[in-house]
Homo-oligomer: A and B are copies of this chain.
Amino acid sequence: MTIKAVVFDAYGTLYDVQSVAAVTEETFPGYGEIITQVWRIKQLEYSWLRSLMRRYEDFSVLTRESLAYTLRILGLKYDDGVLTRLMEKYLHLDLYPDANAALAALKNRKLAILSNGSTDMLNALVRNSGLDRVLDATISIDSKRIFKPAPDAYVLIEEKLGVQPSDVLFVSSNPWDACGAKSFGLNVAWIERVTPEAMAQACVKSEMIAPLTMFKAIRMQMDELGVAPDYRIHALSELPGVVAAHGS
């Protein structure tokens, strides 16, 4: 049994969603970090809630609505132009520094993205970052009208790449996504970018609870969902080793 395809989550895994913080800080000085954290939490919540409510709208709609929500609860004034300018950053997210090297080292496997992002958002992002030259496919869950971690979303890998789940390594830094993929039947590598010890220390700094770190922590630490990924790595650079070792 060998890995025939390596499939990546996009937001938070290959691309650093925290890189929107610079733009939000520029637009709302002093609020860049808190906007980024609340925006992301609400973007995810809305993807799950709309999936359950059967009111699917594509990820660009949810991303805009969650941003509007965030600015509203912070009491910040905004107009459509502000929303559009901040949204634009989602098409130009930074790749993690080790992404290109990891992808190059895996080029003898099929490589793809499977993301909650809409087809338009993903195509722009992949083109802007040059990954269109490396990936065999960029798969949006759009056609299924339900977001990860619903099984219907992960089915798309076999449908689009023709590789069965047991021959796929799925890579995500999002704990809920890693659990969803594992529950569906894929081999899963979860990227733990910060250790629990470092995170717990950062959450409680000198007797004070650090709010922004806490917001990050509740998205970055492995969840308790009754299922566990196969591999726990700390950076994309560890992936070639995992793929080489798997099943041998």
Residues of B near A227 (CB, < 8 A) are 53, 55
Residues of B near A221 (CB, < 8 A) are 69, 72-73
Residues of B near A38 (CB, < 8 A) are 214, 218
Q: Is there an interface contact between B34 and A209, defined as CB atoms closer than 8 Å? A: yes
Copies of this chain, count: 2
Q: Is there an interface contact between B49 and A149, defined as CB atoms closer than 8 Å? A: yes
Report the count of interface residues on A (CB-CB < 8 A). Answer: 56
Q: Which of B31, B73, B183 contacts A199 (CB 8 A)?
A: B73
**Given contacts A73-B196, A196-B73, A53 and B225 within 8 Å (CB-CB):** yes
A203 at the binding interface (Cβ < 8 Å): yes
Q: Is there an interface contact between B150 and A53, defined as CB atoms closer than 8 Å? A: yes
Residues of B near A176 (CB, < 8 A) are 45, 49
Which residues in A have some Cβ–Cβ distance to B below 8 Å?
30-31, 34, 38, 41-42, 45-46, 48-55, 57, 65-66, 68-69, 72-75, 146-147, 149-151, 176, 179-180, 183, 196-197, 199-201, 203-204, 207, 209-212, 214-215, 217-218, 221, 223-227
Residues of B near A200 (CB, < 8 A) are 72-75
**A-B pairs, 5 with minimum CB distance:** A211-B211, A75-B200, A65-B224, A48-B48, A52-B150
Q: Is there an interface contact between B53 and A151, defined as CB atoms closer than 8 Å? A: yes
